Amino acid sequence: MFRVNAGQVRLPDGRFFQTGVPKGHPDLYGFRWSDHQVFYIEVKTETGRPRPDQIKFHDFLARRGVIHGIARTPEDAIKIVEEGLVGYGF
C-alpha cells in the first residue's frame, strides 16, 4: 500500500510546480497479490464527507468495478481490501 503525496513546490524562478495526482485521487492505493487487483482508499474522519472531485473519481472507479471505498477506521480499510468492496462508504 502506498500513500499519495500531493502539493506544490516553488521553483527557483518563483513559479510553482504542482506535484502529485489528479484532484479527487484517493489517499491510499495498493495491489492485491492474491488476485492481481488494484485498490484505492479515501481516508476520512467519522464525520468527514467526500468532496465533489472525490465523488467524481469514485464514479469513475465504480463504473469499472475497481475496489475502493472510504475508510473511517483501520478496520474499514482492511474490510475494503479483503472483501474487495466497490464504493464502500460513498
> Which domains can be identified in the chain, with CATH numbers?
2-88 (3.40.1350.10)
Query: What is the spatial distance between Cα 48 and Cα 39, in angstroms, rounded to a whole number?
Result: 21
Query: What is the spatial distance between Cα 53 and Cα 14, in angstroms, rounded to a whole number?
Result: 28
pLDDT at 9: 81
Check: CB of residue 28 under 8 Å from CB of residue 40. Answer: yes
Other beta carbons within 10 Å of 1 = 10
Name the residue among 74, 80, 82 with its Cα closest to residue 90: 80
- Whether pTM > 0.75 for this model: the answer is yes
Using one digit for the tens of pLDDT, what is the confidence trace for 30-59?
999 999 999 999 999 999 999 999 999 999
Query: What is the spatial distance between Cα 58 and Cα 51, in angstroms, rounded to a whole number?
Result: 11
